[in-house]
Amino acid sequence: MKLIIIGIQGAGKSTQGNLLSEKFNIPYLSSGHVFRQMCKEHRWIKEILASGKLVPDKTVLKIIADYLNKPEYESGYILDGFPRTVMQAKEFKNGVEKVIFLDVSDKEALWRISGRTSERDDETLAAIRKRIELFHKETKPVIEYYKKQGKLLMVDGEKNIDDVFAEIKSGLAL
């Protein structure tokens, strides 16, 4: 099973991704986690993330493709936070079966994020606002792209964790 989870920052992607990973024994890969790890070695990536901007498409595609070529992802994956642009979606050739969109309002996302205790450079208020703006500008069209392909599963991400998980499982017919 090859799944993508898309949603605004704070939508619950990592929570649901980890639940799906545990339930179906499929590895979960957070693109955000990958890039935060890369920040330790690449200052320019750290600066991009801290400003709330997106890493360039071609760079993201190469990094994600390299990760998914590892043996642990051969029989499937749950990918969180990628693709973030239509170009990334069009160029990504890895047999995506379903794209789960966790629909959460900006207000709810901000409320959830503000409740976190974080030392992350990319969770400042300015960076979060920039990410929300970029989500609407760059990622909403990705959702439409997958909807047109018949791969989109839209889920009300504002429900409680168990209800969201149940809706995802039902939508995947599992």
Domain containing residue 30: CATH number: 3.40.50.300
Is 174 a domain residue? no
Number of Cβ atoms within 10 Å of the Cβ of 23: 12
Is 172 a domain residue? no
The tens digit of pLDDT for each residue in 97-121 reads 999 999 999 999 888 887 766 666 6
The tens digit of pLDDT for each residue in 131-141 reads 888 899 999 99
**Is the per-residue pLDDT at 151 higher than 80?**
yes
Is 33 a domain residue? yes
Is 35 a domain residue? yes
111 vs 78: CA distance, rounded Å:
26
Residue 114 structural domain: 2-167
Is 173 a domain residue? no
Kind and range of the H or E element at 154? strand 152-156
Banded model confidence at residue 56, pLDDT cuts 50, 70, 90: confident
- The phi, psi pair for 103, rounded to 5°, reads -85, 115
Is 15 a domain residue? yes
Is 150 a domain residue? yes
Tell me what pLDDT residue 42 has: 82
Percent of the chain with pLDDT over 70: 94
Domain count within the chain = 1
Is 79 a domain residue? yes
Say which residue the tokens 């790890």 belong to.
37
